Structure 1
Amino acid sequence: MTAASPPPHDVADLGLAPLGRQRIEWADRDMPVLRSIRERFARETPLAGLRISACLHVTTETAALARTLRAGGADLVLVASNPLSTQDDVAAALVADFGVATYARRGEDEATYYRHVTAAIDHAPRITMDDGADVIGVLHGERREMLDGVIGGTEDTTTGVIRLRALEREGGLAFPVISVNDADTSHMFDNTGQSTIDGLLRATNLLVAGRQAVVAGFGPFGRGVAGRLRGMGAHVIVLEVDPRRALEAVLDGFPVMTVAEAARLADVFITATGDVDVLRPEHMREMKDGAILANTGHFNVEIDVAGLAAMARAEREVRPGVREFLLPDGRRLNLLAEGRLVNLACAEGHPASVMDMSFANQALCAEFLAREGADLEARVYPVPPRIDEEIAKLKLAALGVRIDVLTDDQARYLASWEQGT
């Protein structure tokens, strides 16, 4: 494939491809697990001729996954899973240098976003890859005629898994989907919180030390955000609705309270729940002048942006990615990234070494579905344990770490019930 004959695409500027290629190659250096899988895929082509439609954040790390799927023989279409997460130079390089049909523009409007999702569906995929379940959602909604050709899919984020499990409960899920988000090798690395703090700092240049911060949600990602903020000297309050997670936060040393109690205390609010309307106008009326509101969940629903805009008597952009809302009493509230996921809209998302694990799961789950998807029931599955274990082994090997192997006696003991005290 050459720049003179690119695949079908809709990207901002193919002239950005040289920069994009440099950045893709830089990220690839820190993704040894995916590189090793790509080398094997190139030899074995386990995805030969298989149509895959992927709706993911179009970043340097996703480019490494796309190259791996292509090396395995897949016929791939890639579209963006969020209007503000696309790296335009990467999208250009994927088209011009790597021959991947890519439909993604940073800042695309809703109509363009769903036109791109439609392009993914028009590809008639045998396997879907989602980050937020938008392709699967449209397939199960207005494009049901395309369902019969799909043998399976993967989902990469908590919000998408929530949607898929709801669809399964209603008896409407039409094909098996693997929750890559729930893999142990994804959770270990994919929820560090570093990228959220990176987005906050790039957008605001805020000194975190000494600030009062609120983190809504203490799941794997919220826990990472809270820990990173505390490590940088912030005083962190946690909000939770799950008693078990709230108790975990308390035992980890975090104050836990309600949104109403925390609203007047914090300088920074970060939502990480996957649910709607976490921060609402009644909370915003109590917030400090200058408070910063950010979301790191997948969809822009956790902060009531419409409610904030309706409260304000004026608004303006005060820094790239920072919108100031002037309230009638003179207080100012600052919203980051339009309420969209701040780690990708204001920064570059997770580091490459983090996404190495998540996307290794994606690649090996695609191989698993190609081989066994037609025999699976239509439900949400965890990542097969042998895939998780293989990725852990590959990562250890890349790190130069060796571990012991059970002796025969140890293995027998763990598999038996007879021996007691």
Structure 2
Amino acid sequence: MAIEIKAPTFPESVAEGTVATWHKQPGEAVERDEILVDIETDKVVLEVPASADGVLEEILANEGDTVESEQLLGKIKEGVAPAAKPAAEEKPAAEEPKQTAQAAAGDEKVAPAARKLANEKGVDLSSVTGSGKGGLITKEDVQKAVSGAATSGAAKKSAPAAPQVQVAAGEKVEKRVPMSRMRQTIAKRLVEAQQTAAMLTTYNEVDMKPVMEIRKKYKDQFEKRHNGVRLGFMSFFVKAATEALKRFPDVNASIDGTDIVYHAYQDIGVAVSTERGLMVPVLRDCDSMNLADIEGTIADFGKRGREGKIGIDDLQGGTFTITNGGVFGSLMSTPILNPPQTAILGMHKIQERPMAINGQVEIRPMMYLALSYDHRMIDGKDAVQFLVTIKELLEDPARILLDV
């Protein structure tokens, strides 16, 4: 009996997707709930699992094809999956002629997704130890080799360096690759934001010493009290932004055509950098979250972002965004709005600078803050006061508790 493999039901905001990777090829055994294919949309990558044990009979949508919601992707022949080939039937490596790294490892020992990733990353498969059944090299094994981590159950090895291309003197080499659907959407939205919004940016700076002292004093107790959740700086900024958004509702609003939509809640997006591009998962109802809730959720977003498991529901909505270029060393930048939101806060690198404190020069850990805003919705006065409020709350965190 043939079982159809269909694309998942896409949300209304997602019209179509692209078949990114088939993890199985026709004739290969599949197990129930095993991931068969990844579909890349303009927001997230969706995984399509097998609904039954059997054998992949045929593929109807190849890698790179555009598919719609619930479109037929392939078929599974239901039944008992065939057993893996015994080792005696495998050809000894010594009898094989010299081949590429892919063939040397043996097609039956390299998963298709692993082979594709190895080609993209320049990984020598002969140096990768397979952790799958029968020594199968999986996509995860190649990812570990790229990051330099040891494969599970094998001796630690350093990831091989990407091969150097031999280029004749004066020769110019170019490489053309298609832009991913997600990168295309990011580019489109950023250009639209600049073309449709009257975007301005106001700057200020914040003395991070009070927050750093609190973190230094309580970080060990905090981590122990909250089951390993670490106390970072982002949670302080989220709480300060939440309080400032309550005081300045225009900053927490959005424009819908000729209407202004005021939000009586604070759902703050936190920009997360992933291999596939920038994603902005949303912290819901920040006013009801404590510092541990915020830090734990952000850590989960980061982990799932690296694994490509952030869902569409995580990205939808949001009334305000915070982005932190400081983790990459940025001292100052101009963040671009995340439509339909009308403001975004940019954090930056903490840099020690001489400051005049009570008539004396002191070295303080300072951070530049940037607030980009849509001048169609937010007046300059409100934008400046909003940013000053965040500065005051961070420089005296007790204000957050006292609501002053």
TM-score, structure 2 as length reference: 0.27
Name whichever structure is richer in helix by fraction: 1
Name whichever structure is richer in strand by fraction: 2
Which structure has more RCO (C-alpha within 8 Å, separation ≥ 6)?
Answer: 1
